[in-house]
Structure 1
Amino acid sequence: MTTTDPRFPGANIIPIHGKSPKIHDTAFIAPGSTIIGDVEIGAGSSIWYNCVVRADVFTIRIGERSNVQDGSVLHCDPPRPGDEEGSPLIIGDDVLIGHMAMVHGCIIHDRGFVGLGAIAMNKSVIGSDAMLAAGAMLTERKVMGPRELWAGRPAKKLKELGEGAIMGMKVGTAHYAENAKHHTEAVRAAMGDA
């Protein structure tokens, strides 16, 4: 059964298998988004319009001040024979995930960046301050080191990121944290809760 949470009007918050999403009061969950099962979302993080965060078979953890932009899909894989650890989805703090990304059972370290329409697959790792370029596909078990830029399908390392690129990602993350506050107010006003 879909539940409504007065903190997040218009969003679908769905418990399953006895697990309910745990979402910090200061997070922004946009209308049309669906958050399912064993999900934890930290302070100041934002899940934008029409995203799906589905932890029906294992866990999804999203840190603080991270943003998942419009239309993205987040999922995980359970432990099974031959893969006893499974593939939880672990997203650190200050992570930026671009529009229409697909992020599945991987680890994204603090300040990692996933570009528009990019895919990160099971057991892949995006290092701190690293960038997976728009449209790239990071295949299973590939590991991006800190401050690396990877692009292509399949993704390969292109170069080390300079200070300008790192600063640009930080600015983007700060912008989304601030913009989420404005959208929280706008959604509440539009839905009559202001």
Structure 2
Amino acid sequence: MTAPRLLDFEGTFPRLDSGVFVAAGAKVIGEVQVGADSSVWYNAVVRGDVCPITIGERTNIQDLSMVHVTSGQFPTVIGDDVTVGHRAIVHGCTIGNRVLVGMGAIVLDGAVIEDECIIAAGALVTPGTHVPAGSMVMGAPGKVVRALSPAERADLLRSAAHYVQMARRHGGPTTQMGGIGASTP
């Protein structure tokens, strides 16, 4: 028997819109809303236990990533067409639309990442940081190093669209009960 992918926390279950894929080994827990055609990949954890988490449409949370919140202070809000790279940590922050959080990057409590940004692999966005739209952030602590090019901005949408297709290839939508192959209500 496979372990459930969607878990309640104190009676609150995650809510998935249509076309959401939650891979084997991934866990979505508690007060979490996941938008249409989004995906949570192998062994990623999205834990809405002490504040809510909202994930927009066509957003992908890749393998081994952690999305969490700060008790009573900071929910996590992730916009549409966002790519959260492998082994990233997104904690109690707000991420706009069409953003790439690179592999191993960390975005901490109260940070706000506006639309069309890239947080480079391994970057550390410290608590309370505000990143303006169209920025590239690198380093630890993370600093805005330049504006994104038009090609980089276009790549943000391509990345999100690629993961929508990959989710279909990996088994399609997850039901509210954690199974594969049926649409959510």
* TM-score, normalisation: structure 2: 0.90
Residues 37-59 of structure 1: CA distance to partner in whole angstroms, max 9, x if unpaired?
A: 00000100000000001111110
RMSD of aligned Cα (Å) = 2.1
Which structure has more relative contact order (CA 8 Å, sep 6+)? It is 2
State the secondary structure of the residue aligned to 1:122.
coil
Please tell me whether residue 41 in structure 1 is matched to residue 28 in structure 2.
no
Q: Could you say if the C-alpha distance between residues 10 and 140 of structure 1 is closer, same or farther in structure 2, counting changes exceeding 3 Å?
A: same
Distance 1:112 1:52 in 2: 19
Q: Percent identity?
A: 38
Match of 1:30 in 2: 23
Is the contact made by 1:10 and 1:30 (CA closer than 8 Å) also made in structure 2?
no
User: Which amino acid is 2:141 matched to?
Assistant: P
State the secondary structure of the residue aligned to 2:170.
helix
Question: By how many angstroms is 1:11 displaced?
Answer: 4.6
Match of 2:83 in 1: 96
Distance 1:62 1:129 in 2: 16
User: Which amino acid is 2:98 matched to?
Assistant: R
Distance 2:14 2:180 in 1: 25
| Among 149, 155, 160, the residue aligned to 1:162 | 149
Question: By how many angstroms is 1:169 displaced?
Answer: 1.6
| Matched pairs, number | 178
Question: By how many angstroms is 1:125 displaced?
Answer: 1.0
Q: Give matches, 1:1-194, under 5 Å.
A: 11-79=4-72, 86-185=73-172
Is the contact made by 1:75 and 1:103 (CA closer than 8 Å) also made in structure 2?
yes
Distance 1:59 1:155 in 2: 26
State the secondary structure of the residue aligned to 2:157.
helix
Q: Could you say if the C-alpha distance between residues 193 and 88 of structure 1 is closer, same or farther in structure 2, counting changes exceeding 3 Å?
A: closer
* TM-score, normalisation: structure 1: 0.86
Which 5+ residue runs of structure 2 have no aligned equivalent? Answer: none
Is the contact made by 2:76 and 2:92 (CA closer than 8 Å) also made in structure 1?
yes
Question: By how many angstroms is 1:192 displaced?
Answer: 9.6
Residues 66-87 of structure 1: CA distance to partner in whole angstroms, max 9, x if unpaired?
A: 00000000100122xxxxxx10
Q: Could you say if the C-alpha distance between residues 11 and 101 of structure 1 is closer, same or farther in structure 2, counting changes exceeding 3 Å?
A: farther
Which 5+ residue runs of structure 1 have no aligned equivalent? Answer: 80-85
Distance 1:67 1:192 in 2: 17
State the secondary structure of the residue aligned to 1:37.
strand
**Structure with bigger gyration radius:** 1
State the secondary structure of the residue aligned to 1:168.
helix
Q: Which stretch shows the higher mean deviation, 164-173 or 113-122?
A: 164-173
Q: Could you say if the C-alpha distance between residues 167 and 58 of structure 1 is closer, same or farther in structure 2, counting changes exceeding 3 Å?
A: same
